[in-house]
Amino acid sequence: HKGFLKRKAHANIDGKRIPWGKRGWKTFYAVLKGMVLYLQKDDYRMDGHTLEEVVSVHHALAEKALDYTKRPHVFRLQTADWRIFLFEAGSKEQMSSWIARINLV
């Protein structure tokens, strides 16, 4: 499962609030493989390698972010270590499909 997602980090490990200046939305190319969500930044480093973040979705919970109304098609991902991310998908269908895939893991 793959595609572009915009991400906003909402809470760090143990539910701590992400500090000011690091709360913005960023675009990633997301790939879900097994129990891992790979988030590739859409910019490249000087050496040509892509920057990638890795989020374990083992025992994570994805659900539509009903209380977040600033953007459409946003789902919340809560990880087993209590990080919280918001992800904006390109359409309602893409959002539903990401939620279903993540919760299947």
Q: List residues near ligand I3P by CB under 6 A.
A: 20-25, 70
Tokens 């994805």 belong to which residue? 62
At closest approach, how far in Å is the CB of 11 from ligand I3P? Answer: 10
At closest approach, how far in Å is the CB of 18 from ligand I3P? Answer: 8
**Rounded CA separation 38/69 (Å):** 26
Tell me if residue 51 falls in helix, strand or coil. Answer: strand
Q: Output the residue with the shortest Cβ distance to ligand I3P.
A: 24
The distance between the two most distant Cα atoms of the chain, rounded to a whole number of Å, is 41
* Nearer of residues 62 and 84 to ligand I3P, judged by Cβ: 84
At closest approach, how far in Å is the CB of 19 from ligand I3P? Answer: 8
**Rounded CA separation 81/15 (Å):** 8
* Nearer of residues 2 and 71 to ligand I3P, judged by Cβ: 71
